[in-house]
Structure 1
Amino acid sequence: MPERWLILADDLTGAADTAIAFARAGWAASVAWGAAAPEDAVLSFDADSRRLTGAEAAARHAALLRAHGGGRSALFKKIDSTLRGHPAAELAGVLHALRGQGHRALAVVAAAFPALGRTTVAGCIHLNGQPLEVSPLWAREHSYPTADLCAVLAGEGLRTRHAPLGLVRDGAGALARLLHDALADGTDAVVCDAVLEEDLARIVRAGRPLARALLWVGSAGLARALAGAVSDGAMAPSRAAGGILTVVGSLAEASRAGVALLADDPGLLTLTIAPATLRGGPRGPDWRAQAAAAVAALAAGRDVLVAIQADPGTTPAAGALLADRLGLLLAPASSLAGALVVTGGETARAVCDAFGIAGIRMLAEIEPGVPLGLAHATRALPIITKAGGFGDAGTLSRCLAHLRRLPISESPA
């Protein structure tokens, strides 16, 4: 496969869980945002576009491709495995930009992430064996009236073909011929069914002869198949002195269950921040008290859990504002935390911005879709990021336990 990759994602946790698929297979991989971009073989860029309109998200992705695509021969458009955000508009924007540069381009769309129960059957996304549309994730937030990928892409004006599961499993030749024909007749995208990780591997093998003309579209499941074999030699960083800060901004059920379990840890200070406190801003007494409590605990070496109080009435747009405010509240703790665990893409980006983190070098995967990296800041800082809906009730506890086992550096990292 090509040796230099550009990954475009709509949020930070998505950029990270895709990049780690390459890092765990031995590739040098970093997550970046802003103007600076590392020269690693795999650059995963956070477009921070989920909160934008579809047109704005498409334009931002096209601009990032023009800015960072030079010299990178392989392109991966990371989409949310439950179709949040604007994946169809973003894909259309990237395809238009590629063709504007004179490239032939066919999107191979394989959204499945079998390790986390996300599959694609008859072109439709399923979660744990059930249609995505009947899940709590879909009820809380969705961008389209259906989880039928062919219909979603067609709604954006994209000419789409479907590769059913039987064809995917009928040897690489059948799917390879479909991809070849689709590229020849100007089809924009081929939606591929996948239920098992081996199905994703079959899709990758079928696409190899056309690799230079393909735009890969999917989640971390497809990234794993593209990256290749898993490396045994993951780096183990040290952490700085100071408590470990865990920040949860996501309202997803897995994250909320994780908060409830983690709050029972006797070595942890738990701070639950009311949305009203964040909306009120830094002048409010509750804001100052919560920020001071976090700073004091971390400075004393105590681990801290900070979670936004669940509010079922919070809209995605309001959630983005709360994430930004939470980052601002925690900014005084930026020099005191010895390591970070952050859940929720917008929360992760807000905390990183508040802490002066300009990028993350991917190191290891704690569990599927939950990467550990080393943040690029004034000091090296271990950071675990997790999409809100990934994992189970014990994932946050396992993340904290992993960081607690890291050796503490005697000097700044």
Structure 2
Amino acid sequence: MPPDVLIIADDLTGALDSSVAFAGPGRSVLVARKPDAIPALLRQSPDVLAVNTASRECGADEAAKRVAAALAFLPIADIPIIMKKVDSRLKGNIAAEMGALQAALGTRRIIAAPAIPTMGRRVTGGMLDGDGIAAPIDVASRIGVSAAIPDTESDRDMDDLVRSADSGVLWVGARGLAFALARAAGHPEPRPFRLTPPLMIVSGSRDPITMAQVERLRA
């Protein structure tokens, strides 16, 4: 059987931090670290499948090819919920990847909601703004295809958006959208738990915000 939810992410971190929204007892959530792992994971009949196309840092044409190659492994017509996971500051080759998705999915309505209200990042009047964003970003110009871009300033806005949408939507967003989709499907957010030291943290990000966090931890 095809998964109930498909997440296409342009890096592994995105695949993980969005798919974890659906994790919980009795649900199978699998992440393909590369597209050619998809067939083996589909044979395990996951409820949720996230795919890393590793396409954020390459050229736009190559990014589109990688997304198209991933989709070729997938029964996309039979998957109810499809989400294109994007960076919450809209970095990467989003327009090229959306072009590949639109070519494969045809007439699916596209709704873009890249806000993460819990991180202080929100969308108002088609502009993404908030913590860690130097200047407001025009969402439409980064998405590159025709899409609805509703105001989403809080988790309640995200929940209302997801619940009011018709079926057959191609969702575009970050982890805030993934958690809203999970809540709408009846999956509560994972409970926080305390890790016991000694502890090792491995960071693969060169983002200035992450680097500042690492320096604070060292101190």
State the shift of 1:244 in Å: 5.2
User: Could you list the per-position Cα deviations for residues 203-238 of structure 1 after superposition, in whole angstroms to 9, with x for gaps in the alignment?
Assistant: 11121xx31x211111111111111245477699xx
Query: 1:203 and 2:161 equivalent?
Result: yes
Which one has a bigger Cα radius of gyration?
1
Which of 54, 59, 70 is equivalent to 1:48?
Answer: 54
TM-score (norm 1): 0.46
Match of 1:11 in 2: 11
Q: Is the 8 A contact 2:179 2:189 kept in 1?
A: no
* Residues 168-207 of structure 1: pairs in structure 2 closer than 5 A: 189-207=147-165
* Residues 85-100 of structure 1: pairs in structure 2 closer than 5 A: 85-99=92-106
* Residues 236-385 of structure 1: pairs in structure 2 closer than 5 A: 245-264=200-219
State the shift of 1:25 in Å: 8.7
Q: Is the 8 A contact 2:31 2:52 kept in 1?
A: yes
Distance 1:4 1:127, change over 3 A: same
Mapped to 1, the partners of 2:10 and 2:189 lie a distance apart of: 30
Match of 1:152 in 2: 142
Q: Which runs of 4+ in 1 moved over 4 A?
A: 232-236
Mapped to 1, the partners of 2:209 and 2:67 lie a distance apart of: 29
RMSD, aligned α-carbons = 2.9
Distance 1:26 1:54, change over 3 A: farther
Mapped to 2, the partners of 1:147 and 1:206 lie a distance apart of: 26
Distance 1:17 1:25, change over 3 A: farther
Q: 1 or 2, which has the higher strand percentage?
A: 1
Where in structure 2 are there 5+ consecutive unaligned residues? none
| 2:206 maps to amino acid | L
Distance 1:262 1:218, change over 3 A: same
Q: Is the 8 A contact 1:26 1:230 kept in 2?
A: no
Distance 1:62 1:25, change over 3 A: farther
TM-score (norm 2): 0.82
Mapped to 1, the partners of 2:103 and 2:190 lie a distance apart of: 39
Mapped to 1, the partners of 2:189 and 2:111 lie a distance apart of: 29
Mapped to 2, the partners of 1:248 and 1:125 lie a distance apart of: 26
State how many pairs are aligned. Answer: 207
Distance 1:98 1:20, change over 3 A: same
* Residues 3-42 of structure 1: pairs in structure 2 closer than 5 A: 4-24=4-24, 27-34=27-34, 35-37=36-38, 38=41, 39-42=45-48
Where in structure 1 are there 5+ consecutive unaligned residues? 135-145, 161-188, 265-413
